[in-house]
């Protein structure tokens, strides 16, 4: 197995076993659906600006999609690590997660390299998978820390990043997608903070889940983030500390909706999306090429609403079919 981009395995695993939390799968599935829609919207001129990333200062619904996925990772990172720790020991556990996030980083680098070469979806250089991969690696030392230590470390990282951003990095970061390599500090802080909140939610041993504990933690993040926004603006492009705190709070509130309203219901299609997120994300980038690459402006960039809706339905429908097939076959892509 390679160290940077290890081979993946598709194994037949029970979809309901292994301690899976259906609310988390559904939340993660919604996040991937929103990622697909957001990436499609980005290149279409007829889509209103509030359904695209804010150019700098400000916050749109699309700016919350990546934090929602980071929050979903935080909800399961610690639980998965504890299970592997009990089975394989600390060294093997850390090595496993190092390989996983190096693989995600490498896959992201390949994807953005291909996009840059083909001129598709703009020239990013540093994509969302690189941000996720670096965040996962930066969060490794915090895996087995108590929740208060994780939270304190996350806040410390965010404050240090904000200082460096304001003092030295802002012009450079604004030229890069997802904050580039410097912004990885903030994404890492976001993941560690999400892991601390997840510990509050799951309780001791992951068997005492409490939406109330999570809600108090989210409220603290929201208050701190809004207060900080008077000093430094909320900006996804800068991955500012205020953006991290506010977006984590909103992501957590969305998840609480699944926890409170849908824990007893199984939205199987969302579960299917949520159980193969990386595969479906990579698949959607390939399918987007059908719309982005043809040179006709009226086909994608300047498409009218009937065509926009038809293309989006085709895109999400095709990915849903793949997700459903994998779900019914009980196949999950495992890094």
DSSP state of 52: S
Note the pLDDT of residue 120.
Answer: 62
Note the pLDDT of residue 294.
Answer: 87
Residue 22 phi, psi dihedral angles, 5° rounding:
-60, -40
Whose CA is closest to 237, among 114, 63, 36?
63
Note the pLDDT of residue 15.
Answer: 39
Note the pLDDT of residue 181.
Answer: 93
Note the pLDDT of residue 122.
Answer: 56
How many CA atoms lie within 13 Å of 263's alpha carbon, on the beta-carbon side?
A: 9
Mark the ranges of the chain whose per-residue pLDDT is less than 50: 1-18
Evaluate the CA torsion angle 57, 61, 64, 65 in order and state its sign.
negative
The Cα–Cα gap between 333 and 322 comes to 12
Residue 332 phi, psi dihedral angles, 5° rounding:
-130, 130
Note the pLDDT of residue 134.
Answer: 97
Asked if 78 and 198 touch (Cβ cutoff 8 Å), the reply is yes
Note the pLDDT of residue 264.
Answer: 73
Evaluate the CA torsion angle 217, 220, 222, 228 in order and state its sign.
negative
Note the pLDDT of residue 19.
Answer: 60
Note the pLDDT of residue 9.
Answer: 41
- Residues with Cβ < 8 Å from 293, sequence gap 6 or more? 118, 120
C-alpha Rg value of the chain to the nearest Å: 19
Q: How many CB atoms lie within 10 A of CB 81?
A: 19
The Cα–Cα gap between 66 and 181 comes to 16
Q: What is the pLDDT of residues 293-332, one digit of tens each?
A: 888 889 999 999 999 999 999 999 999 999 999 999 999 9
The Cα–Cα gap between 232 and 241 comes to 8
Asked if 134 and 184 touch (Cβ cutoff 8 Å), the reply is yes
| Token pair listed for 267 | 């939205």
């Amino acid at each position: 197995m390679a160290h940077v981009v290890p081979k993946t395995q598709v194994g037949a695993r029970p979809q309901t076993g292994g301690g899976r939390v259906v609310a988390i799968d559904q939340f993660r599935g919604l996040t991937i659906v929103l990622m697909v829609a957001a990436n499609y919207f980005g290149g279409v001129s007829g889509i209103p600006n509030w359904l695209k990333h804010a150019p700098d200062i400000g916050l749109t619904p699309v700016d919350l999609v990546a934090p929602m996925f980071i929050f979903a990772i935080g909800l399961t990172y610690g639980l998965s690590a504890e299970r592997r720790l009990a089975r394989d020991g600390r060294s093997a556990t850390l090595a496993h997660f190092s390989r996983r996030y190096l693989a995600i980083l490498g896959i992201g680098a390949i994807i953005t390299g291909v996009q840059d070469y083909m001129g598709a979806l703009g020239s990013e250089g540093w994509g969302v998978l690189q941000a996720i991969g670096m965040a996962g690696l930066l969060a490794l030392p915090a895996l087995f820390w108590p929740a208060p230590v994780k939270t304190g470390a996350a806040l410390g990282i965010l404050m240090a990043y904000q200082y460096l951003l304001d003092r030295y990095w802002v012009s450079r970061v604004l030229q890069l997608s997802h904050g580039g390599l410097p912004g990885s500090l903030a994404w890492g802080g976001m993941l560690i903070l999400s892991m601390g909140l997840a510990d509050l939610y799951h309780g001791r041993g992951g068997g005492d889940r409490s939406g109330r504990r999570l809600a108090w933690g989210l409220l603290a993040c929201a208050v701190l983030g809004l207060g900080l926004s008077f000093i430094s603006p909320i900006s996804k492009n800068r991955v500012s500390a205020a953006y991290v705190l506010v977006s984590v709070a909103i992501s957590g509130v969305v998840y609480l909706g699944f926890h409170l309203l849908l824990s007893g219901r199984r939205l199987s299609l969302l579960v299917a999306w949520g159980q193969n997120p990386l595969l479906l994300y990579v698949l959607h980038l390939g399918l987007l090429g059908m719309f982005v690459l043809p040179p006709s402006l009226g086909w994608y960039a300047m498409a009218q609403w009937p065509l926009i809706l038809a293309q989006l339905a085709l895109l999400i429908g095709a990915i849903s079919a793949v997700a459903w097939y994998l779900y019914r076959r009980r196949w999950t892509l495992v890094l």
